[in-house]
Amino acid sequence: MEIFWLGHASFKIKTSNGKIIYIDPYNIKDDEEKADIIISTHGHFDHFSAGDIKKLVANKTIVIGPASISRELKKFNGKPLELGESFSVDDITIELVPAYTIKKGTHPKGNNWAGVIITHQGKSVYHAGDTERIPEMKDLAKRSITVALLPCGGTYTMDFEEATDAAVDIKPEIAVPMHNWDKDLTQFKTLLAKKDPSIRVEILEVKSLQI
């Protein structure tokens, strides 16, 4: 899989079998490749952007999100999933997992919003969604996550301190900071290196990541 950060919490993933997956597409360029799969983690405008999804939808595009945003998904004949449920197509498995805030009231647990794990050919990408460090993250350490995409802006989600602690809980091979509100991401890299130098940090502002 090749992972491109498109800014904010938005990513494009190209699989080895040529499929194009977008997660939380937002502020998408008009000439971006059409999607085979689009995943929205929750209903906030910068994570479920109908205008951006329209730019990416083709005849066979599958739009996926948590059942809690079924109304929004209906606009695109989308497929709602419950947290813990998975969907497989073309050797790609997509599973929704909990994402919520505890100290902040921005993303209550009761909303049943999501993070997502994408698995393909033995590699896995975890997009944490909008979340703080939550107990369920320690369970992910058993999942051998290849790449963890972690919000770290601090305004609505984790800050650098909490996001690097979450990375230590999850134990991915690679951590990618996102949703950072223009903060200097080298600070994230320095902090995580002190806590667990075995976790590689990749900052994808001007490059992609091949796994």
Kindly report, residue by residue over 63-76, the tens digit of the pLDDT.
999 999 999 999 99
Task: Round to whole Å and give the CA distance between 40 and 42.
Answer: 6
- Give me the mean pLDDT over the 17-43 stretch: 96
Grade residue 141 by pLDDT with cuts at 50, 70 and 90.
very high
CA 27 → CA 21, 43, 71, 175, distances in Å?
16, 16, 22, 23
Is a pLDDT exceeding 80 seen at residue 109?
yes
Per the listing, tokens 């990749």 go with 202
pLDDT reported for residue 145? 98
For 110, counting Cβ atoms within 10 Å of its Cβ (0-12 exposed, 13-18 middle, 19+ buried), the class is exposed
Q: Is there a contact between 202 and 174 (Cβ–Cβ < 8 Å)?
A: yes
The CA distance from 116 to 87, in Å, is: 11
In the prediction, which pLDDT does 205 show?
83
pLDDT value of residue 176: 98
Residue 208 pLDDT more than 90? no
Name the CATH superfamily, with its identifier, for domain 2-204.
Ribonuclease Z/Hydroxyacylglutathione hydrolase-like (3.60.15.10)
Burial of 161 (0-12, 13-18, 19+ CB in 10 A): middle
pLDDT digits (tens, 9 = 90+) for 166-193: 999 999 999 999 998 888 999 999 999 9
The number of angstroms, rounded, from the C-alpha of 61 to the middle of its chain's C-alpha atoms is 18
Residue ranges of the domains in the chain?
2-204
Residue 183 one-letter amino acid: K
Provide mean pLDDT across the span 18-24. 97
Q: What pLDDT shows up at residue 206?
A: 66
